[in-house]
Amino acid sequence: MKSPGSRRIFGPVPSRRLGASLGIDVIPRKTCTFDCVYCECGETTDKTCERREFCPVRDVLDDLEAHLSRMKEKPDIVTLSGSGEPTLYLPMGELIDGIKRLASLPVAVITNSSLLWKPEVRDELARADVVLPSLDAAIDDAFQRINRPHELLSLPGIIEGLERFLKDYRGTVLFEILLIKGYNTDDRNIEAIKAALGRMRADKIQLNTAVRPGTEREIEPLDDISMRRFRNFFGPRCEVIASARTTRMSHEEADLEETILTLLERRPCTAEDLHRALGMSVEDAESTARKLIASGKIVEKRFGGELYYSAPRRDA
C-alpha cells in the first residue's frame, strides 16, 4: 500500500484540455472558496478564503520526484488541481517554481478565479505556463446559484481580478465556461458572460457542461446541438470541450487497484476514462471496477447515459 503522501500526485489523467496531465493535489478534500452545484468532487465541507500551507512544498516535490521515476513516458504537463481550489495553497508560487526545476515540464493551474482579487495570488499564478480560469456567470444571481461562493467574495471583485491578471499574464489562457440548463443558459446570462469575456485576453474559450455527476442531482448536461449553438454565439476563439482526449500512456504503477482508487477519489471516471488514463483496456477497466464494487471500495452511478465509477476520499 502506498503512503498517504503519495496520493498528492495522481494520474496521468485524461484531461479534456491538456492531454496527459499529471495532477498535483495539495488541498484537503473538500476545501474551496465555492460550493458549485456541478462539482464532481462533491459538496464543499470547508468553504474558506484563507490561504494555508496545507502540506510542505518539499514533501510535495519529493512525492513528484518519486512518481516521475516510476514512469517510462513523461506526461504532457503537470497540473495543480484536485479536491479544492489550488490558489488556496499559500506557497503556490514556490511550488510552481519547484515543479519546473524538478520535472522540466510546463505547469498548469486550474482555478475558479475567486482569489485573483489578491495581488499576491496574481503574482504567484503568473509563474504558471498555462492558466485555466473559469467564469460561470457574470450576473450575481446566477453566480450565487451556481457557484455558491464564500460570503467574502463578490462577483465584481472576481471579474476585476481576472481582468488585472490577464492584462499582464504572458502564458496560455484557456477559459472555461460551464453551462447548465436553467442556471446560466438564458439570453441575459449568456450575453453578460460574453460581454465580460470581451474585456479579457484568452487563447481559447472552452464551453463545458455537467458531463459527470455533481453535487446537485437535478443537474443535467446540455445536448450537442445546444453546445454548438453557444459556441457559435461566443465566436471564433470558442470551442466545445468534448469527451476527454489524450494519447494512451504507459502505466508503471505496481499496484493498479491503488492507482485506480486514487484517480476515482478525485473525479468520477468511466471505463473509457480509465483506459485512456492508465493504458489498460476498457474490458480490464470494467473487470477491475467490478471487483472494487464487490469489495465496497467504489460505487457506480449512471449519469448522462454513461456509467461512472467513483470512490470516497480516504484521509491522508
In a domain, 212, yes or no: yes
**Mean pLDDT, the chain, whole residue set:** 87
In a domain, 301, yes or no: no
In a domain, 300, yes or no: no
- What does the pLDDT look like over 105-130, one tens digit per residue? 999 999 999 999 999 999 999 999 99
Domain that holds residue 163: 4-248
Query: How is 64-133 classified by DSSP, letter by letter?
Result: HHHHHHT-SS--SEEEE-SSS-GGGBTTHHHHHHHHHHHH-S-EEEEE-STTTTSHHHHHHHTTSSEEEE
Residue 109 and residue 86 in contact, taking contact as beta carbons nearer than 8 Å: yes
In a domain, 286, yes or no: no
- What does the pLDDT look like over 70-112, one tens digit per residue? 887 889 999 998 789 999 999 999 999 999 999 999 999 999 9
Q: What is the CATH number of the domain that holds 74?
A: 3.20.20.70
In a domain, 285, yes or no: no
Q: Is 70 exceeded by the pLDDT of residue 279? A: no
E strands, the chain, in order: 9-15, 19-24, 31-32, 46-47, 77-80, 107-111, 130-133, 172-179, 204-209, 238-240, 299-303, 306-310
- What does the pLDDT look like over 20-72, one tens digit per residue? 889 999 998 889 999 999 987 788 999 999 999 999 999 999 999 998 988 87
pLDDT confidence tier of residue 245, bands split at 50, 70 and 90: very low
In a domain, 287, yes or no: no
Q: What is the average per-residue pLDDT within 243-261?
A: 50
Question: Which pLDDT does position 188 carry in this prediction?
Answer: 97
Number of folded domains that form the chain: 1
The total number of residues shown for the chain amounts to 316
